[in-house]
Structure 1
Amino acid sequence: MTKTTAKRPTRPRALAVLALAGTATAVWAGASGTGVPAAQAAPAAARTDTTCPRPPGLQTTCGTIRVPLDRAAPASGETTVRYMLVRHRGTAPTVGTVALNDGGPGNATIVGLAQRPQLLLGVFGKILDTHDMLLMDPRGTGGSDAQHCEDLSIDAIPATRSGLLDAVRGCGRELGRRSRHYTSAATADDLDAVRAHLGIGRLDLLGESYGSYLMTVYAQRHPGHVRSIVLSSAYPLEFDMWARPNAQATRRAIKVLCERSSGRCAGERVLADLGTLAGRLRARPVPYEGAGAERVLDDTALAAITYDAAGDRELMGRLPGIVRASLKGDYGPLTEVAASRAQPALSDRLPQRRVGRRSGQADEQFYGLTTWASVICNDYPTLWDRRAPVSARTRQYERGRERLAPGALAPFTARAWTNGIYDRGNFCLRWPDRNGPVQPTDRPLPDVPVLVLSGELDANTPTAEGRAAARQYPRARVIEIPNTGHVAEFDEQANPCVMELQSEFFRTGRATGTGCLAEIPPIPVD
């Protein structure tokens, strides 16, 4: 859920990888993925890409294929899909093909790798010892006919909730019916077209954050082409847009942090202090400057910062001290964190001084907000009738929020919590298309081995959502990674253990080496 990041673009990952590889050799029963001869592949115009990134020590091949913009109406035109094939570095034949999507929605995987090619081996080297990988820029991003909305640029995301909703509405109006072509289903079908073009029989799927959603959609639509699945920081196709499990996970994460802090903080005290601070900021917001613009730090912005801090090894340990300082009148540490965010901590207060808009297209080569908005508004659950006018949607949403159980989103109010998280709550309330596609959630999934990895301190995609994602499959195992947050493989302390588990699972269909989990250290508290 980009949750860069990640389901939302607040922590975009530095590397977006989609991996596919050549013919697989079976290691466990029923695992072989016999290649499909290129002559039998779905017809698609293709060309070689001479600007292919070259990660050190790896052989890569890039290319593009042309696919229907709308597979239900091929005459509507075509779009480009860019892929990158990364060969394994072992001397033995490849064991299989791992198809990796690292989240978003909207991460341009190949563009991300070109920016920091060393991360491919640094993060996924264990898998690349035995498996090939294929990266794909999802349609509408990077080298796959990137789309751009004038009202929704990653360099100029509005800093207020209302401004964000207006920007999403403007993007939907600008796209018109084209927005219906940018869905998880369309991207999953593009991935399968790349698979067929390369002559690959079956894939090992690795989905991180939103990638767990996309790979589940792929598995529904193309079950015969799936060998095994790893879902890292997973959430199911049906999830709570009020983000109640996320609030519960935030409370739990703070308690766990303090339990392991050697007495440097007490979880219940930190939560009570957050509630007190939220009340003060709601009554008297604090102005600050971020990215050259005047912004406001209120209780909604505090909720956004707390949500993002959960499991963040660089920030979470500072949170108790930042809250204590703020309650003593020193807002400097808190506004410093707010100003340092890649995207604004959303607030509810207007007006804010507008600054000159940059084009944003250079940064959007990596993170496509057009695809981000289209996928969320086409695919995700809504808290209102999709076909209703905005006025009726607003009434339905407000009534639903008023009926939430008291304390469900503590230590914040329902308004602050739902407004602080980009892609939950009313994100698509003003989306203009009332008759767009809806992602089915009841299609059967293949009976293949599935491993779900959830960070113990992750509030973005908490373990509760990981367990719900696992229940979608006939046989899935959930492993919680201690002392880590969102997408544990990007935590340097957790990466060796997590990648050992993933590598073993892709080789054998099992994950037995869990002893290393006890070696992941707690996040230190300042």
Structure 2
Amino acid sequence: MRRLALFAALAVLASSGATAAPAPAPDPAPVGTAEERGVAVAAARAGRDGVRWGRCTGQHAMPGRARCGTVAVPLDYARPGGPSLRLTVSRTAATGGTDGTVVRQGALLFGPGGPGASGMSFPAVALTPAWKPLAEAYDLVGYAPRGVGGSAPLLCADPAERPVGPSPAPTRPSRALLREWRAEAERYATACARRNGAALRHHTSLNSARDLEVVRAALGEPRLTYLGVAYGGYLGALYADLFPHRVRRMVLDSPVDPDPARVWYRGHLARPAAYETRWADFRAWVARHDDVHGLGGDAGAVARAYERASARLAARPAGGTVGPGQLHAAMLTALHHDEVWPHRARALAGYVHGDDRQLLAQAGPMPDAAARAELAAREENTRAVYTAVRCNDAPWPTAWKVWEADAARLARGAPFTAWDHVRTDLPCASWTGPRQRPRDVRTGPGELPPVLVLAAERDAAAPYRGALELQRRLAGAALVTERGAGSHALSGGPNTCVDGHLRAYLLHGRVPTAPTPPCTPHAEPRPRPRDLPPPVLTPAPAP
């Protein structure tokens, strides 16, 4: 499932035409804050060193012509001569087209979501038809942000100690379960501080945005051409605010809300309602295909079937490993990408009708012990970076009664994820160390080339309000909306209207004129009969 979700996420104005952008104005003199001076020093050093490209091996191996390397960035930009981190980067060189006549436009750097996701596999999209025009004109470049994957990986707990097996549903937690969550969150925050020491405070969104500037210099690009998805869109917005003179073209796909008042706790409060809407969309789709699924002819009937399945799993976990928590986690992934709907519907319908093979294949543990250990390590790394960045970035409430009251209020209208969101971010209530004040991202007219923002109206992971707010804050930004749809990350996806805008912008520098007509939604997926063999998918992670 992770591989599907990754490629769904990847299936993401300078001069017109295919010529390279003119050379930018020289960097301003390295004055200002210590961090600003440190970025200038690190970028100059990276520009001299470049990237030594070699084979992509181990966890970074991928099909095609991709090459991998590293870029050194300071741990602390206020001390550019101090300890450094090496970020892993990957690249597929521009093909120039079948006849070699397509002019190379430079590097297109992909910013993954998260915090905690890696973009190292991005160059592999060069092998897909949807990305061929861009792969002809651009080097497709991915990277792992600081702390992620091979980029000085951050861990807060031993992956081997991660709980496995059936877990309760997070939708209506008991008082005992809430106490367990609070204790677990406190232990995790304490362990993270103890394990990582003073280095932990440098895992922030601002430092990751500064890292983009160093990577740009190492690639030898005078200006940055960037495609950021979800949280990667927020990093792009920070970069645009910090280094507007260095932006060539920038696509911010399904971005999170950059309003400093909503980074991150109030943004956390906005998501359950969006997830509830998307959960209703999924159930309505299942009901429209009741001839295949047999779970009921309306969304309410499907919800009742889900609740019955959850209760059965609580009494007797499927295969001894899949309980209500695993069922919930599996269904949650369906709310990010509707291409997953047929698989999750098959799993639920199969279980309700007495066949748990689909559910075990999609939500159960991987059968191979080594693969399970590798997945656990990857998930702990993701969780550690996600937690560290969000907790360091902004103030969070420290009183449990605030979290509990907000979650209880939200759960009255959005029960599917309200409490789950509390559990995910609760370590921030006990986080130690300095908290940053979120940057007030904002550019004025003429400070920045036109930026292209892509968003789906019913996106659960990045509610549409965030795209509107980002467009408002980046003067001259154009917003392309997929109306009536909710898949997260649109670039290279099934909507030809959205992809047309993406290519026109990246290949020719054209942005749609305002007001931009919305794109009609892409076609809904087709259901898959229950009697097909189970798909070969990596199971969804336990909550």
TM-score, with length taken from structure 2: 0.70
- Give, as a single letter, the amino acid of the residue that structure 2 aligns with 1:139: R
Structure 2 counterparts to residues 153-192 of structure 1, below 5 A = 160=167, 162=180, 165=185, 168-169=188-189, 170-192=191-213
- Counterpart for residue 444 of structure 1: 442
- Counterpart for residue 364 of structure 1: 378
Post-superposition shift, 1:206? 0.8
- Counterpart for residue 298 of structure 2: 269
Post-superposition shift, 1:405? 7.4
- Give, as a single letter, the amino acid of the residue that structure 1 aligns with 2:362: S
Structure 2 counterparts to residues 299-314 of structure 1, below 5 A = 303-310=328-335, 312-314=337-339
- Counterpart for residue 233 of structure 1: 254
The separation in 2 between residues aligned to 1:121 and 1:321, in whole angstroms, is 30
| Alignment deviations for residues 184-243 of structure 1 (CA, whole Å, 9 cap, x no partner) | 221221110121233322222211122122222222222221123222222213353132
Cα distance change, pair 339–48 in 1 and its aligned pair in 2 (3 A): same
| Alignment deviations for residues 438-486 of structure 1 (CA, whole Å, 9 cap, x no partner) | 3514132354323332346643234344334433322331321665622
- Counterpart for residue 321 of structure 2: 294
Post-superposition shift, 1:71? 0.9
Structure 2 counterparts to residues 372-387 of structure 1, below 5 A = 372-379=386-393, 382=396, 384=397
- Residues 484 and 521 in structure 2, CA contact (< 8 A), matched pair in contact too: no
User: What is the aligned counterpart of 2:272 among 244, 250, 271?
Assistant: 244
State which drifts further: 156-165 or 206-215.
156-165
- Residues 456 and 483 in structure 1, CA contact (< 8 A), matched pair in contact too: yes
The separation in 1 between residues aligned to 2:517 and 2:471, in whole angstroms, is 22
- Residues 156 and 357 in structure 1, CA contact (< 8 A), matched pair in contact too: no
- Residues 235 and 466 in structure 1, CA contact (< 8 A), matched pair in contact too: yes
Give identity over the alignment, percent. 23
Cα distance change, pair 143–434 in 1 and its aligned pair in 2 (3 A): closer
Task: Tell me, yes or no, if structure 1 residue 71 matches structure 2 residue 77.
Answer: yes
Post-superposition shift, 1:120? 3.2
The separation in 1 between residues aligned to 2:199 and 2:299, in whole angstroms, is 47
- Residues 46 and 66 in structure 1, CA contact (< 8 A), matched pair in contact too: no
Post-superposition shift, 1:18? 13
Cα distance change, pair 372–404 in 1 and its aligned pair in 2 (3 A): closer
- Give, as a single letter, the amino acid of the residue that structure 2 aligns with 1:50: G
- Give, as a single letter, the amino acid of the residue that structure 1 aligns with 2:119: T
Task: Tell me, yes or no, if structure 1 residue 401 matches structure 2 residue 407.
Answer: yes
Secondary structure of the structure 1 residue equivalent to 2:54: coil
User: What is the aligned counterpart of 2:6 among 13, 27, 48?
Assistant: 13
Task: Tell me, yes or no, if structure 1 residue 428 matches structure 2 residue 428.
Answer: no
Q: CA RMSD, aligned part only?
A: 4.7
Cα distance change, pair 165–225 in 1 and its aligned pair in 2 (3 A): same
Cα distance change, pair 119–144 in 1 and its aligned pair in 2 (3 A): same
Cα distance change, pair 438–473 in 1 and its aligned pair in 2 (3 A): same
Aligned residues: 473
State which drifts further: 497-506 or 34-43.
34-43
- Counterpart for residue 254 of structure 1: 282
- Residues 18 and 105 in structure 2, CA contact (< 8 A), matched pair in contact too: no
Cα distance change, pair 63–481 in 1 and its aligned pair in 2 (3 A): farther
The separation in 2 between residues aligned to 1:70 and 1:360, in whole angstroms, is 30
User: What is the aligned counterpart of 1:316 among 330, 341, 344?
Assistant: 341
Unaligned runs of 5+ in 2: 28-39, 171-179, 529-543
The separation in 2 between residues aligned to 1:371 and 1:486, in whole angstroms, is 21
State which drifts further: 174-183 or 43-52.
43-52
- Give, as a single letter, the amino acid of the residue that structure 1 aligns with 2:88: R
Cα distance change, pair 128–33 in 1 and its aligned pair in 2 (3 A): farther
Cα distance change, pair 405–127 in 1 and its aligned pair in 2 (3 A): same
- Give, as a single letter, the amino acid of the residue that structure 2 aligns with 1:309: A
Task: Tell me, yes or no, if structure 1 residue 103 matches structure 2 residue 113.
Answer: yes
Post-superposition shift, 1:70? 0.8
Cα distance change, pair 342–63 in 1 and its aligned pair in 2 (3 A): farther
TM-score, with length taken from structure 1: 0.72
Unaligned runs of 5+ in 1: 345-354
Secondary structure of the structure 2 residue equivalent to 1:376: helix
